[in-house]
Copies of this chain bind each other. A is one copy, B any other.
Amino acid sequence: MRIAGLSEASGVSISTLKYYLREGLLHPGDARAVNQAEYGEGHVRRVRLIRALLELGKLQLADIRRVLAAVDDDGVAIHDAFGVAQDAMVPARDRGSPEYGRAFVAVEEFVRRHGMRVRQDAQVRGMLADALVAMWSGGWDLDLRTFDASMPRILAEAGQELEGVPDDDRAVQMEVTVIGTIAYEVA
């Protein structure tokens, strides 16, 4: 498959594909000559992954680049792909206020209560705290305890979903995990 085929298969224009190649989001094809390269199924999957992260996850290309780097890095365990994808979804917000501190503590207690394994530096902590601050400032006095009752069930379901990841090669697993994280988040 050459670039026209890749464009056809992925629904993305050749110009855009060249752009992704330039930006290093898409690996160069297998060069057969100075102006001829061959692309494979992996490239199609990669492009679809980029588009899903972009359109569904509303991630910026800069964040997508980091996610893809993790996908390509053999040092990153499949298990950590969730964290990477989630971190990239987090919008940057002001984290200096005293409310934020209060919210962060609430999140920490919540994580501890449910014995969740969430990295200490995971951005999702901040994201949840951000949401709490926004709700408080809007006069909505949400307590995370509200979720307590349903968390065990939710966690169990998430675990089950993980079982469903197909055991092809690592690249496919990483992609499935990342796209699943984003899509699940949206769902």
Contact = CB atoms under 8 A, between A and B. Distances in A.
A141 interface: yes
Contact of A186 (B56, B127, B138, B183): B127
A139 B157 contact: no
A137 B56 CA distance: 13
A28 interface: no
A41 interface: no
Contacts of A164: 140-142
Contacts of A146: 157, 160-161
A11 B55 CA distance: 30
Interface string A29-59: 0000000000000000000110010011010
Interface in A95-149: 127-128, 130-132, 134-135, 137-142, 146-147, 149
B134 A52 contact: yes
Interface residues of A, number: 46
Contacts of A154: 150
A141 B176 CA distance: 10
**Identical copies of this chain, number:** 2
Interface of A: 11, 48-49, 52, 55-56, 58, 91-94, 127-128, 130-132, 134-135, 137-142, 146-147, 149-150, 153-154, 157, 160-161, 164-166, 172, 175-176, 179-180, 182-184, 186-187
17 contacts: A56-B91, A56-B134, A58-B58, A130-B186, A131-B184, A132-B183, A134-B183, A134-B186, A135-B180, A137-B179, A138-B176, A138-B179, A140-B176, A140-B179, A140-B183, A146-B160, A147-B157
